[in-house]
Structure 1
């Protein structure tokens, strides 16, 4: 077997083993959280050694939780690919993406992850995960910004998503109707902000008086393809 084929086979086996352990972990998280105990039990369920499990998830429950978050992003992107986005207004596309992201998640698993990510030492990983979700959404929706708007869009959407997640975790309304109303209001705020930016950009007077932050944004450039994202890596 050629070396390339062998490497691809090994990579696929590793990915399958990681997916299997994550699948098994989901049954244990409601009881043990995203923890070493969950990783140990999941490895046993899959017939994997603990050494293998720790090689795949070296930070234990934290890496398991992050893998679950990335899986949710992938499921959201699949929903976006299958949807008829051309039939939606741009605002509706953003709402659809965020709803798809939440609807792909299990509330108890996310609640347990939120508890873990609230620990001070995990704050950078929490911010990185939110940023990567926002980047995935804007990229899937065809964002072409190259300047500071690239950063502001992702920062604002990260804040919208994180606040919506917290609201969703405590929402007992039927079919989470209150969450979707909350999300709709937050997106309306974003649209108003974008309209304000457009008015400032179009008015020389406003640009000269209150437009300094926007001038600074315009001086920024999105990361090159070879550079890591502000919230994490491109890998």
Structure 2
């Protein structure tokens, strides 16, 4: 499996859009403060999904939540046909919007004394905590993400998140470690996200400690020691196991 990782270090001047499952996907081929990100979803889909996500704490990542989102924004129930993957389209909306919100949620001053590892930890924990309101439904979401038809998009978004975290932490590497760092961080995040679904500690303190241990296991953040193998192995084992546990045919 390949990751869709974006080379921020190589600015270009064009962008491309495609359609996946009736959802517009725009991928920039440049990364610059002078060229803002294009909207990740067309307006109608974004409006419905933004409303549907508010129903997730009660209904979970389900077709019922998508339908409720359409109805509460004044669209006919037939508008849910815009989302042929149903729950996964809603899950993907959550993944993309929370990734894009990370840059506003965590910012480091220019004179910050934090090292790269500590910045990465803070960003990972901040992204995990963004799941707190829907954490009771996240094992089910992971199950949907592990269905064979959803794995490519799920892996691509996990890769995009790892890319975003390293970028926001200030990583400027342009050698082969660029890839190993992102593969390794993807493995750390995926395992931490699963751990969080069973964390009962106040404020998810145990999850934060788990993240710290997993980053520490790497000894040097970004080392090549099995990062990609762990990453793919998580999806082959834990991810499919979650899908089967939720009664999904995989």
Aligned to 2:207: 179
Deviations 1:124-169 (A, max 9, x none): 2221221111011112222222232111111000000000001111
In the superposition, relative to structure 1, how do residues 32 and 120 fare at CA in structure 2: closer, same or farther (>3 Å)?
Answer: farther
Higher helix share: 1
Runs of 4+ in 1 over 6 A off after TM superposition: none
| Change in CA separation of 1:116 and 1:195 when aligned onto 2, cut-off 3 Å | closer
Q: Is 1:46 paired with 2:66? A: no
Whole-Å separation in 2 of the counterparts to 1:131 and 1:33: 25
2:245 is matched with none
Is residue 59–residue 65 contact of structure 2 (8 Å, CA) maintained in 1?
Answer: yes
| 2: CA distance, partners of 1:132 / 1:101 | 13
Structure 2 residue 53 is matched with structure 1 residue 59:
no
Q: What's the CA shift string for 1:208-231, capped at 9, x where partnerless?
A: xxxxx9xxxxxxxxxxxxxxxxxx
Structure 1 position 36, deviation (Å)? 2.9
1:1-235 equivalence runs, <5 A: 15-55=42-82, 57-81=83-107, 83-84=108-109, 86-105=112-131, 106=133, 107-192=135-220, 194=222
Q: Figure out how many residues of one structure are paired with residues of the other and give that number.
A: 185
* Larger CA Rg, structure 1 vs 2: 1
TM-score scaled by length of structure 1: 0.68
Structure 1 residues 54 and 146: alpha-carbon distance in aligned structure 2, compared to 1, 3 A threshold: farther
The Cα offsets for residues 100-144 of structure 1, whole Å up to 9 and x where unpaired, read as 101122313433321211323322222122111101111222222
What is the rounded CA distance, in whole Å, between the counterparts of 2:221 and 2:117 in structure 1?
13
Q: TM-score, normalised by structure 2?
A: 0.64
Q: Which is strand-richer, 1 or 2?
A: 2
